[in-house]
Amino acid sequence: MLLERVITDFGSDISFGQVVEKLKEHYGITISASAVQNITKKHAKACYDMLETEANLHSEKTSKCLIGELDGAMIPILFFEKNENTDRRKWRKTVWKEARLSMAKEKGSLTKIFLATMGDTNRAGELLGRCAKKLGWKENTKIHCLGDGARWINEQVDNIFGLQGNYLIDFFHLSEYLAAASIICCKESPKVWLKNQQEKMKKNMVSEVLEEMKKNIEPDNINESNAPVRRCCRYIENRPGQFNYKDAISEDLPIGSGEIESGNKSVVQKRLKIPGAWWNITTAENILALRCVRINGDWMKYWIQVSKSFDYAA
């Protein structure tokens, strides 16, 4: 069991081929890459099962305020598309598919809970709810959520938390749109213009910002790719009620979703997007579960469960 733990530990971070090299270097053990893969996948599936078993568990504590974030990252997926009219070697297909990461933390805490899925947006929203439950989401808990403006994120916040949740557009993403528009709106000093509009948005002066931009909005005959002011106006107008930075700042709540973006790199991309790696959906889902078990601090709990089942089997 200890060897399997070492293999799974390595296999959750690096390629199976690299695990073979590390085992030989550090432990003098020679084992095939296929064996490393099978062992890692077995425990990844068990981690997934453990998380599913705990899906409806609530924390005994009650949190006054939780911060929730959702985001996605594209990873490479391999599948086989049967076609009797083509050579079997051509049945292999590769695509990029979005892995969705959910994160929750208690206000003022550094402890974050992550859950990830290759499933649809509803599954991602469900996982965000699970993260919140684990941290003490109750009837009177305030839920402060952030995202990059993708519609599915706001929809899931509404679906899962209802009136308990509020959703805020990540300030950095908004600023990217404003920065692009600044070059047209104030060619002499775009940086000054950008800073002024950012300050207005932080004071919830959304109408004033839109009015300022529409003085320089591009004509309809200008291609969308060459109309940054129009794009920025549309971005803001299509997301009413999602720019309440004033209240967030006054309540000492974040206005940026940087934690979920860094989480995407450390939880999802660090293992599932390494060079040369292609995954089937099921294995990717399980590896995500394995990585979340580790990063959430449930690694020891998982192996205690394994040891109990091992002792029982013996």
Specify whether 185 is located in the same domain as 161: no
Tell me the average pLDDT across 31-40.
96
Together in a domain, 43 and 113: no
> Are 149 and 74 in a shared domain?
yes
Same domain? For 260 and 159 the reply is yes
Annotate 28-60 with three-state secondary structure: CCCCCHHHHHHHHHHHHHHHHHHHHHCCCCCCC
Nearest to 175 by CA among 201, 154, 141: 201
Per the domain annotation, does 275 fall within a domain? no
Query: Does 242 map to a domain?
Result: no
Burial class of 221 by CB neighbour count within 10 A (0 to 12, 13 to 18, 19+)? exposed
Total of domains in the chain: 3
Q: Are residues 75 and 154 in the same domain?
A: yes
Residues 162 and 92 occupy one common structural domain: yes
Evaluate whether residue 140 is within a structural domain: yes
Residue found under tokens 């003085």: 215
Q: Which of the four pLDDT bands, split at 50, 70 and 90, describes residue 313?
A: very low
| Residue 115 domain flag | yes
Query: What's this model's pTM, rounded to 2 decimal places?
Result: 0.91
Expressed as residue numbers, the domain containing 182 is: 173-237
287 and 262 part of one domain: no
Same domain, yes or no: 120 and 192: no
Residue 23 sits in the same domain as residue 102: no
Asked whether the beta carbons of 289 and 98 are under 8 A apart, the reply is no
Same domain, 33 and 151: no
Residue 314 confidence (pLDDT): 42
Among residues 152, 104, 95, which one has the least CA distance to residue 130? 104
Same domain? For 163 and 73 the reply is yes
Read off the pLDDT of residues 171-201 as tens digits, 9 standing for 90 and up.
999 999 999 999 999 999 999 999 999 999 9
Residue 244 forms part of a structural domain? no
